[in-house]
Amino acid sequence: MTAPTDRDLLVRAMRGDNDAFGELVTRYQTGVFNVCYRILHERGEAEDLAQETFMRAYNRLEQFDLEREFGPWVRRVAANLCLNHLESRRVSAPLDDERDADQSQRPEKQVEVKERSEQIRGALASLPAQYRVVVELRHYQEMSYDEIASELKIPLSDVKSHLFRARKLLAEKLHAPD
Amino acid sequence: MHLTDDQLNEYLDNESAERAQIDLHLASCSECAARLTALQTLFAELDSLPELELTHSLAARFTRDVNLTPQLPRWLTLTASLQAVLALITLIVAAPFVANLLPAIETPSLTVMLIQLQAQWTTWLDVLSTLQLPQFPQLPPLEISSLMLTLTLAGASVLWLVGNGLLLRKQIK
Contact check, Cβ <8 Å, A18/B69: yes
Residue B104 has pLDDT above 70, yes or no: no
Q: Do A18 and B45 touch (CB under 8 A)?
A: no
CB distance A34–B51 less than 8 Å? yes
Cα B42 to chain centroid, rounded: 51
Q: Do A171 and B42 touch (CB under 8 A)?
A: yes
Worst-scoring range by mean pLDDT, A79-83, A158-162, B131-135? Answer: B131-135
Q: What is the mean pLDDT of residues A139-165?
A: 95
Distinct helix (H) and strand (E) counts, chain A: 8, 0
Q: How confident is the model at residue B1 (pLDDT cuts 50, 70, 90)?
A: confident
Whether the per-residue pLDDT at B46 is higher than 70: the answer is: yes
Contact A10, A53 (CB under 8 A): no
The ipTM (two decimal places) reads 0.81
**Phi, psi at B65, each rounded to 5°:** -65, -45
Condensed to tens digits (0 to 9), the pLDDT of residues A7-60 reads 999 999 998 889 999 999 999 999 999 999 999 999 999 999 999 999 999 998
Residues composing chain A: 178
Residues in chain A closer than 8 A to B38 (CB atoms): 171, 175
Tell me whether residues A54 and B62 touch, CB distance under 8 A: yes
B69–A contact, CB cutoff 8 A:
yes
On the question of pLDDT at B71 being above 80, the answer is: no
Residue A10: name the closest of A51, A52, A69 by CA: A69
User: Of the candidates B9, B51, B58, which has its C-beta nearest A164's C-beta?
Assistant: B9
pLDDT at A166 over 50: yes
pLDDT reported for residue B70: 47
The pTM for the full model equals 0.62
Q: Quick check: B53 pLDDT over 80?
A: yes
